Structure 1
Amino acid sequence: MNLKALTLGLVVASAATFAIAKPVAYQIDPTHSATVFSWSHFGFSIPSANFSDIQGTINVDNEKPAASSVNVTIPLSSINTNVAALDKHIQGAEFFDAAKYPNITFKSTKVETKDKKHFKIMGDLTIKGVTKPVVLDATLNKQAVHPMTKLPTIGFNATTSFNRSAFGVAAYVPNVGDKITVNITTEASVPAKK
């Protein structure tokens, strides 16, 4: 092999390595994602509700996980408590005031790696126009080509908790619990090329 061919081969190999190491943007699949939150109801029960229309992007850098990021929008219109009247009440001015603040957002500010599967994702949560820092404890479930869609796909579970009163959603505290516990599961895929 001559020097020119060797040099060309090294350039191609380096380019391929760089392409593999490049961060990947996964688009959240709302049909396989859910944000379930729960609270205390007068101490008698722990009801839960779900936001089903989760939208956003998970940018994953496998080589430098700390450079990864998350940007999520959750329309309040997707809330489901399994009680239609309660859905409407929670979306009203006494709670989320969805007419004025239609979305909840989360934007990561830092990612810490515990190991190859467990992460702490720090970020800004915005509810009802109020932004506060929260921490997600996240677990990587799987990262592979999806057998059905044939698209590169990633899946996570995550948990967090916060006091809703900090976001101006304080109706009926303390009888209806202030602390909100959140459990998230999500699948996200690289969009198909058009």
Structure 2
Amino acid sequence: MRHIKKIATIAAIAISAPLIAQQAMQVPGKADPARVTAGTYVADSGHSLIGWEVNHFGFNDYYGLFGDVAGTLTIDPANLAAAKVDVTIPVSKVTTASAGLTSHLLRAGKDGGKPDFFGPAPADARFVSTKVVPKGMTAMITGNLTLNGVTKEVTLEAEFTGAGANPFNKKETIGFEAETEIKRSDFGIAYGLPVIGDEVELDISVAFEKQ
């Protein structure tokens, strides 16, 4: 009987240990501005992306993604208005849920003509901030967006979402989400207007790691 009780005790410990460990583990990032330290941060490309949304035929909205966002953020919590952000978006890596649509976005123009959307070797897009207006946990970030060879001023509505140490590489990390809306025709992408929407919503999620 004593042997059976010992086995039961060991089994109970084995079952409960992962649960106890899980309860002890804490989320490393918190939306606490006090965790942010001054310096230059580099985008964590593997965990940063930009989603886009455009209306299709007036029926519903369609979505796609730009991944592998690169760039830098320079920030000082004591002077947030002086923050600078410079990010690059590899348009050539655009992806959608439809292989056919993704191919269409990147295919060459017919008979040597202009591509319908980006073409097979599009240049990276780039956003460089020119003005930051902080307000609590949010900020309005104005800057120049270069896309498809055209540069226009856009304003991002950004929100600070978390800061802390990455548990794997131990780097200080800051996370932000932002959104804005652009007109694709402003950037020379007018295929399918007006049945395919001109207004494109951009949803941005970027993590920056301190260097």
Shorter-chain TM-score: what band?
Answer: 0.7 to 0.9
Name structure 2 gaps, 5 residues minimum: 1-35, 108-114
> For the aligned residues, what is the CA RMSD?
1.5
**What residue is the counterpart of 2:160 in the other structure?**
140
Matched, 1:97 2:119: yes
Cα deviation, residue 89, structure 1 = 1.3
User: What is the CA–CA distance in structure 2 between the aligned matches of 1:96 and 1:108, rounded to whole Å?
Assistant: 24
User: What is the CA–CA distance in structure 2 between the aligned matches of 1:88 and 1:30, rounded to whole Å?
Assistant: 23
Partner of 2:56, secondary structure, is coil
**What residue is the counterpart of 2:41 in the other structure?**
26
Alignment of 1:7-18 (within 5 A): none
Give 1:134's aligned amino acid: V
**What residue is the counterpart of 2:91 in the other structure?**
76
User: What is the CA–CA distance in structure 2 between the aligned matches of 1:79 and 1:131, rounded to whole Å?
Assistant: 20
- Percent identity between matched residues is 37
Number of residue pairs the alignment of both structures matches: 169
Give 1:91's aligned amino acid: L
User: What is the CA–CA distance in structure 1 between the aligned matches of 2:48 and 2:37, rounded to whole Å?
Assistant: 25
Q: 1:142-167, CA deviations, whole angstroms, 9 ceiling, x for partnerless residues?
A: 12222332111000000000110000
User: What is the CA–CA distance in structure 1 between the aligned matches of 2:168 and 2:100, rounded to whole Å?
Assistant: 38
**What residue is the counterpart of 2:77 in the other structure?**
62
TM-score, length basis structure 2 = 0.76
Contact 1:76 1:98 in 2 (8 A): no
Q: Which has the larger radius of gyration?
A: 2
- Runs of at least 4 residues of structure 1 off by over 4 A? none
Select the structure that is richer in helix: 2
Partner of 2:116, secondary structure, is coil
User: What is the CA–CA distance in structure 2 between the aligned matches of 1:180 and 1:77, rounded to whole Å?
Assistant: 18
